Amino acid sequence: MPNALRKPWVGIALIAAVLVVAPLAVGASLGNAWVRVLDFAALYVMLALGLNIVVGFAGLLDLGYIAFYAVGAYLYALLCSPHFGIHWPVWAVLPLGALVAGIFGVLLGAPTLRLRGDYLAIVTLGFGEIIRIFLNNLNTPVNITNGPQGIARIDPITLFGQPLSRPLEFLGVGFSGVMLYYYLFVVLALGIVFVGIRLQDSRIGRAWVAIREDEVAAKACGINTRNVKLLAFAMGASFGGISGGLFAGFQEFVSPESFSLLESVMVLCMVVLGGMGHIPGVILGGLLLTVLPEIFRQGAGPLQQALFGTVVLDPEALRMLLFGLALIAVMLYRPAGLWPEPRHRSEYKQ
Amino acid sequence: MTVLLEARRVSKHFGGVQALKDVSLSINAGEIYGLIGPNGAGKTTFFNVLTGLYRRDGGEVVFGGTPLRLSSPHQVAQAGIARTFQNIRLFANMTALENVMVGRHLRTRAGVIGAVVRGRGTRAEEAAIRTRAQQLLHYVGIGDSANRVARHLSYGDQRRLEIARALATDPKLLALDEPAAGMNATETAALKTLIEGLRADGLTVLLIEHDVRLVMGLCDRVAVLDYGEKIAEDIPANVQQDPTVIGAYLGGAA
């Protein structure tokens, strides 16, 4: 590698350039549908980074994480839609979503403090389902969530008077709505990356990892494991709440269907496949698991048509099959994830 | 001589098994106090009760003049009792330095906002944690291994690292649970020097040990537990001669 590439600012500038140009390039070559995929990739990266705090740092297996995404999304939907006739500005709703989701994180964490591993996983799974079922049924006797129909006509996210759903012409370049959302999501995702990195390398982050490594020893070292675990749940949940709010504004529609167990499992897969506890790995996991299935979904049909003259396997089924195979392969050959923490390397550097 | 820790009639049972029965002992400030006894005598149970991992059924513990309530381990650590474990419990995938830095958790303050903003106060605190951790690693003699992952350290070094981590909580009393277990003669001798150094620096040490020679050579006073009861407490030379103790170890009806 040439020396210039080793300087950190060169890498940062390269990444920034790629992030800025990506939606324009993708939009021009592949169309806006693929920019939309990038939007979702950014959302899932945020989710995966939030779950990484709980699962990766603190070692608390959470199978109901999508519930916090749901809390954030429904909060946005209720406060920015004709459903109740409330139209709050986004800068008020998103932080509130983070806060409320954080409170839900503590609500989930408090009764599960003594549980670990499988037992914790079962309880969190139940929690995720409870939230979804509540959203499904809270339309009677008082209609709060509008039940299975979901909430429609949600306000798009509006920044500086510009609704991000509308195209914008800026410096002679045309930006479609999905591109504008892309920039917002990427900025927020970078913010979450920043917070994650800062937390990891801090007194709190060390306490989380200590609990993951050996809870009894962590207690004996004077760590108040109850508070520190609740903090992990709250932090992770608040990231989920923010991305949920963004999701609601982006889709302009939410329904309980979007928050199924499969979604929790997908986010967990991003964390585990990428490399638990390693932020770059988790980002990679989030990107791969959003973009690759989309490539298969769109590519598998035409490819089969070209090869066999007909579609032999339903692309949707094929997608899940390949996903399952990929999971098994990674767990067999790279059990620590695709890009795990380079712990061992630091040992030889000295 | 001031009493640092006084246990009065401490009891603990698991179901029908009386693991500790009215154990009373007092440890003076600045001494090395040995706790010995045959396997299953209740030594580790006493440690766990003392450090809050187990809840005691009866009795009280007075530490530094104030009673320790039925409290959780982190509160015991806060009060100034640090411990190591019989089967080493390190944070295996963290480096040696990070292990000791975790030990500073108790005596530092930075929270989430401090960590994210990383203002001057937080940076100074973080630097202080790092410096102190490095000092402690040097103190126990593994300063060169600071960046090695804990599970890759040799057995003896892992024991030392556990002591360094315990020292990082600024304890008044250091409780060591069989620190010489599994060590060879050279490592044991080095450990002895380390513990003597701790005492010279003003620390009080409570030591559970099987290695009788180490206990007799190191401790100022020794208590013997047998079937959850204290059967002797004296200077090592007297304990060695005590017929009850000899009986407990040899299994005779002495």
Closest CA to B83 of B217, B224, B205: B205
pLDDT reported for residue A321: 85
Q: How many CB pairs under 8 A join A and B?
A: 115
pLDDT reported for residue B254: 44
**Average pLDDT, stretch B230-252?**
86
For residue A54, tell me if it sits in a domain. Answer: yes
CA distance, residue A214 to nearest chain B CA (Å): 6
**Average pLDDT, stretch A96-109?**
96
Cis peptide before A111 (omega within 30 of 0): no
Q: Is there a contact between A181 and A164 (Cβ–Cβ < 8 Å)?
A: yes
**Average pLDDT, stretch A314-333?**
85
**Least reliable range by pLDDT among A112-126, B116-130, B238-252:** B238-252
Q: What mean pLDDT, rounded, does chain B reach?
A: 92
Tell whether the model's pLDDT for residue A43 goes beyond 50.
Answer: yes
Band of pLDDT at residue A207, cut at 50, 70 and 90: very high
pLDDT reported for residue A308: 84
- Supply the ipTM of this predicted assembly: 0.92
For residue A116, tell me if it sits in a domain. Answer: yes
pLDDT reported for residue A300: 80
**Least reliable range by pLDDT among A266-275, A318-327, B19-28:** A318-327
Band of pLDDT at residue A1, cut at 50, 70 and 90: very low
End-to-end CA distance of chain B: 34
**Average pLDDT, stretch A107-127?**
91
**Residue in B closest to A196 by C-alpha:** B116
Residue entry with tokens 């407490």: B233
pLDDT reported for residue B70: 67
pLDDT reported for residue B38: 87
Strands A162-163 and B17-28: unpaired
pLDDT reported for residue B118: 92
Contacts of B89 in chain A (CB under 8 A): 214, 216-217, 220
Q: How far apart are CA B242 and CA A205, in angstroms?
A: 52
Token representation of residue A190: 């970078």
Band of pLDDT at residue A348, cut at 50, 70 and 90: very low
> The dihedral of CA B170, B171, B172, B176: what is its sign?
negative
**Average pLDDT, stretch A233-261?**
96
| pLDDT tens sequence across B54-111 | 999 999 999 998 898 867 899 999 999 999 999 999 999 999 999 999 999 999 989 9
Interface residues of B toward A, Cβ cutoff 8 Å, are 51-53, 72-74, 77-78, 82-83, 85, 89-95, 98, 101-106, 108, 110-112, 114-116, 118, 122, 125-126, 129, 147-149, 152, 165-166, 168-169
Give percent above pLDDT 70 in chain A: 96
Task: Indicate the pTM of the whole model.
Answer: 0.92
Tell whether the model's pLDDT for residue B199 goes beyond 90.
Answer: yes
3-state SS, residue A156: coil
Neighbours of B161 (CB within 10 A): 27
**Residue in B closest to A223 by C-alpha:** B74
Tell whether the model's pLDDT for residue B188 goes beyond 60.
Answer: yes
More confident residue, A175 or B199: B199
The whole domain housing A209 covers 28-260
Residue B174 CA, chain-centre distance (Å), reads 4
pLDDT reported for residue A347: 44
CB contact under 8 A, A220 and B51: yes
For residue A322, tell me if it sits in a domain. Answer: no
pLDDT reported for residue A169: 77
**Residue in B closest to A277 by C-alpha:** B93
Q: How far apart are CA B50 and CA B201, in angstroms?
A: 23
**Average pLDDT, stretch A144-172?**
88
CB contact under 8 A, B93 and A213: yes
**Least reliable range by pLDDT among A140-144, B41-45, B133-137:** A140-144
Tell whether the model's pLDDT for residue A4 goes beyond 70.
Answer: no
Radius of gyration, CA atoms only, chain A: 21
For residue A188, tell me if it sits in a domain. Answer: yes
Contacts of A105 in chain B (CB under 8 A): none
Q: Chain A window 140-199: which residues touch B at a Cβ cutoff of 8 Å?
A: 194-195, 198-199
Tell whether the model's pLDDT for residue A345 goes beyond 50.
Answer: no
**Average pLDDT, stretch A323-345?**
83
pLDDT reported for residue A343: 67
**Least reliable range by pLDDT among A148-152, A222-226, A297-301, B37-41:** A297-301
Token representation of residue B82: 């640090």
CA distance, residue B11 to nearest chain A CA (Å): 21
Contacts of A217 in chain B (CB under 8 A): 85, 89-91
Tell whether the model's pLDDT for residue A344 goes beyond 50.
Answer: no
More confident residue, A316 or B240: B240
Tell whether the model's pLDDT for residue A170 goes beyond 70.
Answer: yes
Q: Is there a contact between B199 and B30 (Cβ–Cβ < 8 Å)?
A: yes
CA distance, residue A231 to nearest chain B CA (Å): 9
Token representation of residue B140: 């126990």
Band of pLDDT at residue A126, cut at 50, 70 and 90: very high
pLDDT reported for residue A6: 64
For residue A56, tell me if it sits in a domain. Answer: yes
Number of structural domains, chain A? 1
Q: Is there a contact between A89 and A79 (Cβ–Cβ < 8 Å)?
A: no
| pLDDT tens sequence across B108-161 | 989 999 999 999 999 999 999 999 999 999 999 999 999 999 999 999 999 999
CB contact under 8 A, B103 and A222: yes
Tell whether the model's pLDDT for residue A349 goes beyond 50.
Answer: no
**Average pLDDT, stretch A331-343?**
86
pLDDT reported for residue B71: 76
pLDDT reported for residue B252: 57
Interface membership of A98 toward B (CB under 8 Å): no
CA distance, residue A233 to nearest chain B CA (Å): 13
**Least reliable range by pLDDT among A319-323, B159-163, B241-245:** A319-323
Tell whether the model's pLDDT for residue A350 goes beyond 50.
Answer: no
Token representation of residue A267: 């986010």
Tell whether the model's pLDDT for residue B1 goes beyond 50.
Answer: yes
**Residue in B closest to A211 by C-alpha:** B91
CA distance, residue A79 to nearest chain B CA (Å): 28
Give the ranges where chain B is alpha helix by DSSP (H). Answer: 43-50, 73-79, 96-103, 112-117, 120-140, 155-167, 185-200, 212-218, 236-241, 243-250
**DSSP H/E element including B14:** strand B3-14
Neighbours of A295 (CB within 10 A): 12
**Average pLDDT, stretch B185-207?**
94
For residue A243, tell me if it sits in a domain. Answer: yes
Tell whether the model's pLDDT for residue B220 goes beyond 50.
Answer: yes
For residue A276, tell me if it sits in a domain. Answer: no
**Residue in A closest to B91 by C-alpha:** A213
For residue A167, tell me if it sits in a domain. Answer: yes
Q: What mean pLDDT, rounded, does chain A reach?
A: 90
| pLDDT tens sequence across A224-244 | 999 999 999 999 999 999 999
CB contact under 8 A, B77 and A221: yes
